[in-house]
């Protein structure tokens, strides 16, 4: 078959035919837990971490997930193997896994809800979208504040698809080329595409766990640091007062790691030395020149 496949409720089908009914809670209420992983050399990167986070978030959000880890892995690998064959040379995939509580019975005049919905789909890593991160540096613009706390009913660490405030944030910033940043009441920052990290000399600072969305990419940065002569720690990171910060970084699944050139009116060192060391270490880890894959993918 020369068309991409998707998986929906245990069935493989052409991507264009995969759809949720209008009475699915994922559509009606945005009640969707989601994960986004990517491949290197057509193999999923850090899949066990993504899978564990997805299962944890489903449990936190009362979204039933009956499939075993082995079943989810088999489906993911089958989709990647098929869909990767349709990519141009050098192309890679991102894999989206999602789960919802399923159809809502009252929409059809019934009482019973469910069964839960489970799906997977892939799309090509959007090289053109992220290329400016490596050729120009990332520009960040603060869009506003969204109060959050680890004790919230839906904790900030949960990765879900109720993304209306990210849509609003993207429209609220004056610079159309900037990545919109949303601060919480303590000044901790998050974005729709990646997690904000800071460097103070050779120290890499990440927001305290639970204050922003949990990030597999940040875990990779933490693991790389000791071997590169860097230290990594969690610390309150208030971007309203970043005077001591020497570099800002953005870590996300699709692009891995990018250096920040500007936050609002302030310019930062770009490409900074910490960013260069970490990106080289990440490239060595996956056996791919990450920067070149975006700036010279052919």
Q: Where are the domains of the chain?
A: 5-125, 130-295
- Are 294 and 127 in contact by the 8 Å Cβ rule? The answer is yes
CA distance 36 to 164: 18
Count Cβ atoms within 10 A of the Cβ of residue 60 and give its class: 0-12 exposed, 13-18 middle, 19 or more buried. Answer: middle
Q: Which CATH number applies to 5-125?
A: 3.30.470.10
Mean pLDDT calculated for residue range 224-236: 95
CA-CA-CA-CA torsion sign (58, 59, 62, 65): positive
pLDDT higher than 70, residue 298: no
Residues 63-116 pLDDT 10s: 999 999 999 999 999 999 999 999 999 999 999 999 999 999 999 898 899 999
Environment class of 240 (CB within 10 Å of its CB; exposed 0-12, middle 13-18, buried 19+) = exposed
Span 236-268, pLDDT tens digits: 888 988 888 999 999 999 999 999 999 989 999
Residue 209 has pLDDT above 90, yes or no: no
* pLDDT of the residue at 236: 84
Over residues 41-62, the mean pLDDT reads 98
φ/ψ region of 170 (left if φ > 0, alpha if ψ in -120 to 50, else beta) reads alpha
Model confidence, pTM? 0.95
Cis bond upstream, residue 128 (ω within 30)? no
pLDDT of residue 237: 85
Could you tell me which of 273, 227, 279, 226 has the C-alpha nearest to residue 250?
279
Summarize the confidence of residues 275-288 as an average pLDDT: 98
Pair 30, 162: CB distance under 8 Å? yes
Strand bridging mode 231-234 / 203-206: parallel
Same fold, 5-125 and 130-295: no
Question: Band of the pLDDT at 186, cuts 50, 70, 90?
Answer: very high
* pLDDT number for residue 241: 86
Q: What is the CATH number that goes with domain 130-295?
A: 3.20.10.10
Is-contact 266 144, C-beta < 8 A? no
């Amino acid at each position: 078959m020369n068309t991409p496949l998707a998986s929906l409720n245990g069935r493989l089908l052409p991507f264009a035919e995969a759809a949720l009914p209008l009475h699915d809670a994922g559509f009606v209420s945005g009640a969707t837990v989601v994960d986004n992983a990517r491949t290197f050399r057509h193999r999923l990167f850090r899949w066990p971490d993504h899978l564990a986070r997805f299962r944890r978030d489903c449990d936190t959000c009362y979204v039933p997930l009956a499939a075993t880890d082995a079943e989810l892995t088999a489906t993911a690998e089958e989709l990647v193997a098929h869909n990767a064959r349709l990519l141009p040379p050098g192309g890679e995939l991102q894999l989206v896994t999602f789960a919802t509580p399923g159809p809502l019975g009252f929409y059809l005049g019934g009482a019973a809800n469910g069964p839960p919905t489970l799906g997977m789909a892939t799309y090509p890593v959007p090289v053109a979208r992220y290329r400016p991160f490596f050729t120009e540096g990332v520009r960040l613009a603060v869009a506003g504040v969204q109060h959050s706390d680890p004790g919230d009913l839906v904790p900030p660490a949960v990765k879900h698809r109720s993304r209306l405030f990210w849509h609003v944030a993207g429209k609220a910033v004056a610079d159309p080329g900037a990545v919109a940043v949303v601060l919480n009441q303590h000044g901790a920052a998050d974005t729709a595409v990646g997690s904000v990290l800071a460097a103070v000399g050779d120290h890499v600072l990440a927001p305290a766990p639970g204050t922003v969305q949990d990030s597999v990419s940040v875990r990779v940065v933490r693991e790389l640091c000791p071997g590169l002569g860097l230290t990594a720690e969690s610390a309150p990171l208030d971007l309203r007062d970043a005077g001591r910060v020497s570099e800002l970084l953005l870590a996300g699944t699709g692009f891995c790691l990018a250096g920040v050139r500007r936050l609002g009116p302030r310019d930062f060192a770009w490409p900074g030395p910490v960013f260069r060391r970490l990106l080289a270490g990440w490239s060595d880890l996956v056996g791919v020149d990450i920067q070149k894959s975006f700036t010279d993918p052919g």
